[in-house]
Amino acid sequence: MDATTTTAQGTRPRLPRRAVHGVLLLDKPLGLSSNDALQKARRLYRAEKAGHTGTLDPLATGLLPLCFGAATKFSQVSLEADKTYRARLRLGVRTTTGDAEGEVLAERPVQVTREQVLTACARFTGEIDQVPPMYSALKRDGKALYEYARAGIEVEREPRRVTIHRIDVLDFRGDEVEIEVRCSKGTYVRTLAEDIGEALGCGAHLVALRRTGTGPLTLEGAVTLEQLEAMDEAGRDRLLRPVDELLADWPVVRLEAGDAGRFLSGMRRRVALPDAPQVRVYGPQPGAFLGSARIRGGELISTRLLSPLEVEGLLNAQASKHRHPS
Residues involved in catalysis? 57
Count Cβ atoms within 10 A of the Cβ of residue 266 and give its class: 0-12 exposed, 13-18 middle, 19 or more buried: exposed
Q: Which residue, 151, 216, 212, is CA-closest to 180?
A: 212
Contact (Cβ atoms closer than 8 angstroms) between residue 192 and residue 180: no
Phi, psi values for residue 291, rounded to 5°:
150, -165
DSSP string covering 278-296: EEEEE-SSTT-EEEEEEEE
Strand ranges in 58-118 using DSSP code E only, listed in sequence order: 60-68, 83-91, 93-95, 104-107
Query: Helix count (H) and strand count (E) of the chain?
Result: 9, 20
Residue 295, strand partner residues: 276, 300
